Chain A
């Protein structure tokens, strides 16, 4: 029972297959209330499929899931009532105005007319579209439609917001504004937000936790703070030298901490289980070699994300 109050989303071995293709494989994900969770991954890694399953728009092949205490497969109504969703390619009825569109979606949610009217003004102001309230959507740019999509999410007064690639098609200044908006919504109303993106630096700055997807598998899951990221302890030490003999090379290779080392001309890359830079320097110097450069490759979100997106 307590779990339902603190957890907004929980999935157990959630799997989705399209024929032979496995879009999402055994996903175990839990998102707490009030958290901003970033779902990262290259295009086609299964992010949208996860979102569609959470909303009950797509049925999982196997596994269990729970959103705000409801099962989206059996109780899609309850889930859809509480979750605001911004699809990846959001669009609106082109011949209707921004206000008419929002009103229509408000009515679909069975919100009372005067409340809709009030919320439309609030939401349009929040996303910076209040001057275009009466403007027809076919005069809107891609970024404006995206903002309208966010306004549409706010109309519902949701308990949770799911945004699929919310920063797509928006200029850098707009992205910052939107991310700030998400953050303030999250703080003010304690609304859980889940957003997917293939652009890491957008997500990084506002998310509490992230999950990195590739090929339908969640590879890394953890806090944006690197130290807490749930990855194998791994130090990549890179050094270059023009006079490393085979005996020096062997000595380094035989160190306990060195998992593997490869040479590429003058450049050497060692994968180590600890930061053993001093040890390497000592070994090289004591054996009559010299060192040109030495560096510890930084492992941050970006490099981890890169590894997984390049894996293909």
Chain B
């Protein structure tokens, strides 16, 4: 993989110095902080009824009043971070005049796209680690306890799911930057796909439901749904079933929290689907880019 390391490091430092990343990062930090701050007050109210269990997980998942949980925020807003980082990564280089220059150096052509993908994913992971640390720190300061081993494990797994979910959007943004010649077009395509997969698909789900059919067939097409469902199961141990529950299923159900391996086994299909979708899109962009012909214009 000649050139991968060089491209990766250059992309990483370029991102870290870019205004885009600083703005997006700052936004995530501010929102993450304020959301978990809000949820602390709600958690304190529920403290007695919840017997003080899994408080740190609740920091990520509790809605307070009209403010969504951090998990909900990430499922909706996270994709935008990925897309903004990469929507112009290939066509931008082409228009800037660096693509021809880079590809005429002795490197493997796929090093460029691999390096870009890895660098964007690393940057997103860095943002996430920071904001997770911030939220947990806030929790430690206000609750006065440390997360248990299981809570820590769950939070780490949740972080992993976040990275995979955002990597899906990164590969989608990369694909658009390869398919479309202009940055403007790929930006629009990114926004449209983002709105569709995070908002409109839920409306379609509602529509399907109103006809009496199971909306999950539609909803499973959305990575945002897969992400929300799987991370909810991981972060809310009391949640045992994914999606709408029929009456027959509820009968005899015990309202006990699931253990971590059990939670994982519930969402395993979701994780597989999410990872597969991410890889599929990346493979498509990889093939398109490697086989693409450099032409004189």
Contact = CB atoms under 8 A, between A and B. Distances in A.
Interface in A33-47: 47
Contacts of B67: none
A89 to B, nearest CB: 5
Given A52-B296, A58-B295, A91-B96, A152 B101 contact: yes
- Grouping DSSP codes into helix (H, G, I), strand (E, B) and loop, the B interface class, with mixed when no group exceeds half, is loop
Interface stretch (A101-109, A180-188, A244-252, A296-304): A101-109
B106 A48 contact: no
A105 B101 contact: yes
Nearest to A149: B101
Most buried by A among B6, B17, B104: B104
B210 interface: no
Nearest to B107: A108
A90 B97 contact: yes
A81 interface: yes
Given A52-B296, A57-B294, A87-B97, A104 B104 contact: no
Given A96-B14, A104-B6, A110-B2, A49 B105 contact: no
A18 B100 CA distance: 19
A80 B106 contact: yes
Interface in A81-114: 81, 83, 85, 87-96, 104-105, 107-110
A95 B17 contact: yes
A109 B106 contact: yes
Contacts of B296: 47-49, 52, 88
Nearest to A52: B294
Q: How large is the interface on B (under 10, 10 to 19, 20 to 34, 35 or more residues)?
A: 20 to 34
A224 interface: no
B202 to A, nearest CB: 38
Interface string B81-116: 000000000000000111011111111000000000
Contact of A85 (B18, B101, B295): B101
Contacts of A145: 97
Contacts of B106: 77-78, 80-81, 108-110
A80 B100 CA distance: 12
A55 interface: yes
B6 A107 contact: yes
Given A48-B296, A93-B14, A96-B14, 20 more contacts: A49-B296, A52-B295, A57-B103, A57-B294, A58-B295, A77-B2, A85-B104, A87-B104, A88-B296, A89-B97, A92-B101, A94-B96, A104-B10, A105-B101, A105-B102, A107-B6, A108-B105, A109-B106, A145-B97, A149-B101
Interface of B: 2-3, 6-7, 10, 14, 17-18, 96-98, 100-107, 293-296
Please give me the 9 A-B residue pairs with the lowest Cβ-Cβ distance, nearest first.
Answer: A91-B97, A48-B296, A87-B100, A108-B105, A91-B96, A81-B106, A85-B104, A80-B106, A57-B294
9 contacts: A49-B295, A52-B295, A58-B295, A59-B293, A81-B106, A85-B100, A87-B101, A91-B101, A108-B105
